[in-house]
Amino acid sequence: MKPKFIYLFLLSTIFSVLSSCSTVKPPEPCGPLPTKAQLAWHETQYYAFLHFSMNTFTNKEWGYGDTPADKFNPTDLDVNQWVKVCKDAGMKGIIITAKHHCGFCLWPSKYTKYSIKNSPWKNGKGDILAELSKACKCEGLKFGVYLSPWDRNNADYGTPEYITYFRNQMTELLTNYGEIFEVWLDGANGGDGYYGGANEKRNIDRTTYYDWSTTCELIKKLQPNAIIFSDAGPGCRWCGNERGIGGETNWSILKVKGMYPGCPGGDRLSNGQIDGTKWVPAEVDVSIRPGWFYHKSEDHQVKNLSQLIDIYYQSIGRNDNLILNIPIDCRGRIHETDAHNVIAMRKVIDKTFVNNLAEGKKAKSSSVRGHSNTYKANNVTDSDNSTYWCTDDGVRTGSVTITLGKIPVSFNRFMVREYIALGQRIKSFKIEALSDGNWKEIIKQTTVGNKRILRFPTVKATKVRFTVLDSKACPLISTIGIYNAPVLLLAPDISRNINNEVNLSTYDKEAEIYYTTDESKPTKESNLYKGSFKINEKTLVKAVSYSSSSDEYSECSEKKIDISHTQWKVLNIKDQEKAKAVFDGDEKTTYSTKAKSIVINLGALYTLQGFKYLPDQSRNNNGIINKYCFYISNNNRQWKKISSGEFSNIQNNPVWQTKLFKPATGRYIKFEALSTLNDDTQNIIADFDVITK
């Protein structure tokens, strides 16, 4: 080494030793801070909601409170199955509806008769809360309770006596079932109900009736570490919707003054407030099915893998905790489809985040607080969440550059965490990548908070730069993660629209789609899908998604496309545009009519051997035809009855109904509703098709 270099080397060594010894003042807290319990709650991140109550047996979402207790009768209840599914799904806890609005209690409360002690289950000797809390403890899952403030069964609801009752029940729950990590206070309360037989409407003043501060003190006294959920916290807040979507801008702080459970929310619930006065982070609650409770008719509407993955990024990826509801069915078990899908989701998430490409990599920053080692940039890649990179007070912007390697590395996910123990600070940031010698912006966003995860098309780069553009105070970054999620290969969706255009789509934009129209199995040697194509005649379309990077295929999807609909006309409907909903190939558009039948001119003579009917797919279950007659005619005058009967089980399973019959030839068809569920006066058709020979 030349003397000049030796001199410089010594100087820098002395400097770094001195700086690591010198005590640089830690950053001051910024704004409201999380409590220890809230910090633990943030780490819990993902847990299950289990909705189970009298509603499960009455097929309702909100019970009126009048169903006799003996109607609660699970045939094969197994809390160990619930716990196993939740654990296998990667969830860290379970919150159960101990009592929903109907007032029925899943534990033998000594303050009411309306509980499992008067049900046939275990001859009234059972206690679901006891079984579940024990099973959770054994498997290392946290346990929480939902106790509905509204009680449509209780005769005292609306009077001060009910508040005593509510607190007595809360005391039972928080005393007898071990450690409780979250108490869920629903904002829906007040309205009509059974109320001990009064059958009337009881409105309460949500701002005063419950005297929440006293109840919260009671909860804190009995379970000091429990987080209290409500629209207003104090532990965590509702995210403002039940669709599984957290705000892109999401402050964990809120101006809580004047707020209460059930208060009008607005954007402050999803976004929080930059000038919030209390730490009240958001929780995203969403059900895996359209409803919160189990309904057999929704067995085909369990959210699929792509929907669940989107929910993950829109909640956990946006500084929210995720509470995903899985209803318990009438057997007392989690339904197989729900179990399969949540576990599949976990596998995808695990695969995505298994390899942090930034871990242990060298990080350099624009500046370091007091030039101190304690706050150096490498803290963001050291896989230790308690260390962080930080700038000097008053320096509210800055960047960290991570060197991924000499050879460009592919990635498509970026994760960043603030050291929130000292407050949430970052107002906006951007991510850039160095590829081919140029810095390119990948994404610009607003808040970070406990955790922010961003998805983007795969980038190849040697370096990644994270820049804080604006912050309330000096930024504190504890972790940066960079990942390369494998292409998610899901079987493509195949649809044919009214113009005979076939559209193929798959979830992951980086997958290619290959298809065939000759009944052979598609491979990468088949047709590459580049956009919609026309099919005018009866064809079987098969399609797969393919990843060139892993040389893997999805499962194959197929759709039997029958004759073209372009010449079809619904004859007994004036508004042809509206009528198109009957055969437009779109399951979301519906045609509803008071007429008992629809007549369609197929435009040419065909030999038919069946038809298909799809009822309304919305949650209302309205206008579902359950008995039908099907006719064919050559001239729209003389009709031949070809098939009649019922769509068995359509109420529980409102999927495509297919009826086959002996081949018959005709140009006109008539689909007649002989009866409609619940004697609805409307018949609703989401889609209709014929099966030709």
By CB under 6 A, name the one of 177, 292, 411, 568 that touches ligand FUL: 292
Q: Residue 102 or residue 608: which is nearer to ligand FUL going by CB?
A: 102
Q: Residue 52 or residue 668: which is nearer to ligand FUL going by CB?
A: 52
The letter for the amino acid at 20 is S
Measured from the CB of residue 442, what is the shortest distance to ligand FUL in angstroms? 36
Q: Please tell me the distance from the alpha carbon of residue 393 to that of residue 533, in angstroms, as a whole number.
A: 60
Phi, psi of 511 (to 5 degrees): -90, 150
Q: Residue 292 or residue 529: which is nearer to ligand FUL going by CB?
A: 292
Measured from the CB of residue 286, what is the shortest distance to ligand FUL in angstroms? 9
- Of how many residues is the chain composed? 693
Measured from the CB of residue 144, what is the shortest distance to ligand FUL in angstroms? 13
Compute how many residues bind ligand FUL; rule: CB under 6 A.
Answer: 5
Residue 483 · residue 356 · CB < 8 Å: yes
Measured from the CB of residue 292, what is the shortest distance to ligand FUL in angstroms? 4
The residue nearest ligand FUL at its CB is 188
Say if residue 569 is exposed, middle or buried (CB neighbours under 10 Å; 0-12, 13-18, 19+): middle
Q: Residue 51 or residue 670: which is nearer to ligand FUL going by CB?
A: 51
Q: Residue 186 or residue 338: which is nearer to ligand FUL going by CB?
A: 186
* CA Rg value for the chain: 30
Measured from the CB of residue 294, what is the shortest distance to ligand FUL in angstroms? 13
Q: Residue 61 or residue 586: which is nearer to ligand FUL going by CB?
A: 61
Q: Please tell me the distance from the alpha carbon of residue 235 to that of residue 35, in angstroms, as a whole number.
A: 9
Question: What is the full DSSP assignment across 376-408?
Answer: -GGGGGSS-TT--EE--TT---EEEEEE--SS-
How far from chain centre, in Å, is Cα 400? 32
By CB under 6 A, name the one of 186, 231, 320, 418 that touches ligand FUL: 186
Q: Residue 292 or residue 388: which is nearer to ligand FUL going by CB?
A: 292
| β-sheet bridge partners, residue 534 | 501
Q: Residue 185 or residue 390: which is nearer to ligand FUL going by CB?
A: 185
Measured from the CB of residue 69, what is the shortest distance to ligand FUL in angstroms? 20
Measured from the CB of residue 188, what is the shortest distance to ligand FUL in angstroms? 4
Does residue 283 bind ligand FUL (CB under 6 A)? no
DSSP-based three-state secondary structure for 311: helix
Contacts with ligand FUL in 45-64 (CB under 6 A)? Answer: 61
Does residue 188 bind ligand FUL (CB under 6 A)? yes
Question: What is the full DSSP assignment across 518-548?
Answer: SSSPP-TTSEEP-S-EE--S-EEEEEEEEET
Structure tokens at 632: 């064919």
CB atoms within 10 A of CB 673: 23
Does residue 151 bind ligand FUL (CB under 6 A)? no
Measured from the CB of residue 61, what is the shortest distance to ligand FUL in angstroms? 6
Contacts with ligand FUL in 56-115 (CB under 6 A)? Answer: 61
Q: Please tell me the distance from the alpha carbon of residue 199 to that of residue 23, in angstroms, as a whole number.
A: 69
Q: Please tell me the distance from the alpha carbon of residue 128 to that of residue 169, in angstroms, as a whole number.
A: 15
Residue 414 · residue 352 · CB < 8 Å: no
By CB under 6 A, name the one of 127, 285, 584, 672 that touches ligand FUL: 285
Residue 303 · residue 338 · CB < 8 Å: no
Measured from the CB of residue 615, what is the shortest distance to ligand FUL in angstroms? 25
Measured from the CB of residue 54, what is the shortest distance to ligand FUL in angstroms? 13
- Interhelix angle 212-222/160-176, rounded to 10 degrees, is 20
| β-sheet bridge partners, residue 688 | 613
Closest to 296 in 3D by CA, of 1, 4, 650, 561: 650
Structure tokens at 643: 């098939």
Alpha-carbon distances, residue 613 vs 598, 610, 647, 687 (angstroms): 12, 10, 10, 6
Measured from the CB of residue 320, what is the shortest distance to ligand FUL in angstroms? 15
DSSP-based three-state secondary structure for 575: coil
Site of interaction with ligand FUL (CB under 6 A)? 61, 186, 188, 285, 292
